[in-house]
Homo-oligomer: A and B are copies of this chain.
Amino acid sequence: MRVTTHVGLTARALGARGMLLAGRDSGVVKSIRDVAERWGGDFRVEDQVSWKRCILDWKDAGGVVVHLTMYGERLQDREDEIRGNDKILVVVGAEKVPGEVFGLADFNIAVTSQPHSEISSLAVFLDRVFQGRELEAAFPGAKIRIVPSREGKITEEQ
């Protein structure tokens, strides 16, 4: 599985509403839509999005933009302030992010200033912004559901 697919599935599993993908990647879009179709919820995925248009429109509509980057301010210093916002657009993309994003973002936020992964940064960010509530989320319309268990693999087909 590719890194962009991990990003999308992480976003979905940890409470994000959708993923907007700069560039074209129908394979990633299909993988994530397939998961969403089978596992429920209403996660939205689009590719070929203009990242700049998307950021500007988001801000125009009153949303805030958080760019996750190892160069940013410490998450633990800003998370309370970020959590106060209703509409948050999270930008990730590791070394592929154009420098201009730093200036356009309302927050540049580092989940540690160490090199690791946009996937783990996104995961920690979402868990903290939602304060764990995302772990309680239901995914309506699922065709398959896991029953948490101590030792086995228990699934229910709907």
Write the residues of chain A forming the contact surface with B, with a CB cutoff of 8 angstroms: 1, 3, 6, 9-10, 12-14, 35, 39, 70-76, 94, 102-103, 108, 110-117, 119-124, 127-128, 132, 134-137, 139, 145-154
Q: How many copies of this chain sit in the oligomeric assembly? A: 2
**Shortest beta-carbon distance from A136 to chain B in Å:** 8
Contact flag A114-B13 (CB < 8 Å), given A6-B120, A153-B71:
yes
**A121 contacts across to B, CB distance below 8 A:** 123
**A94 contacts across to B, CB distance below 8 A:** 1
For the complex, give the distance between the alpha carbons of A156 and B116 in Å.
18
CB atoms of B114 and A123 under 8 A apart? no
Q: Is the interface of A mostly helix, strand, loop or mixed?
A: mixed
CB atoms of B135 and A9 under 8 A apart? no
**Shortest beta-carbon distance from A90 to chain B in Å:** 13
**Extra 9 A-B pairs, beta carbons < 8 Å, given A13-B111, A72-B148:** A6-B6, A6-B117, A10-B117, A14-B112, A14-B124, A39-B114, A74-B135, A76-B135, A119-B119
**Shortest beta-carbon distance from A16 to chain B in Å:** 11
CB atoms of A149 and B76 under 8 A apart? no
For the complex, give the distance between the alpha carbons of A116 and B119 in Å.
10
Contact flag A132-B76 (CB < 8 Å), given A9-B117, A146-B70:
yes
**Shortest beta-carbon distance from A28 to chain B in Å:** 13
For the complex, give the distance between the alpha carbons of A128 and B46 in Å.
31
Contact flag A72-B149 (CB < 8 Å), given A115-B13, A119-B120, A123-B120:
yes
